Structure 1
Amino acid sequence: MTQSKLIAQRYQVTKRLGSGGFGDTFLAQDLYSPSQKRCVIKQLRRIDDDPSSYELVKERFNREALILESLGENYSHIPSLYAYFEEEGLFYLV
């Protein structure tokens, strides 16, 4: 992914922060925010093209996002979840 990549027609990637076993992490600007606030986006790696595996990953991703949202609201040392979505078969946490 290039640094000029636009994700979800909203998040402008400004820098790649890292890459690991589960995905890539980027610094981005939220173009829908009046201040174009900076945020971190985690793009989860595509695991398998098998439709049944994809549905299982999608279910787990949705569950993880719910848990992360709850934890971020209740514990100041855990980052807040601003958004989560799927685009072109990839999953994202913001």
Structure 2
Amino acid sequence: MPGQKDADINFIHTYQKEGYGFSFEESLKDINFDKPIAVITGKQDNCVGYEDAWRLVKHLPRLTFVCLDKAGHNLQIENKPLFDLHFHDWLNNCN
């Protein structure tokens, strides 16, 4: 609720109408980064989604990508057991 009270209503209306993007997004595919990265997404995330993040898989050789079913934007709460399992597995394999 505190986030909703402080929300930038104009930004929200623009986002809902036009979506959003960052100026650096296209350059992510051109970086040369060979360290471990974990991207854990929620299949039912209606804020960010998983499809845009999936595009990074082919550009980042050490990226682990997980899309959890029965999880939205708060996947670390909504599906804590699976989130913890995947995140801890990734941490243990960061070498």
Q: Same fold (TM over 0.5)?
A: no
Structure with the largest fraction of helix: 2
TM-score (norm 1): 0.27
Structure with the largest fraction of strand: 1
TM-score (norm 2): 0.27
Higher relative contact order (CA 8 A, sep 6+): 2
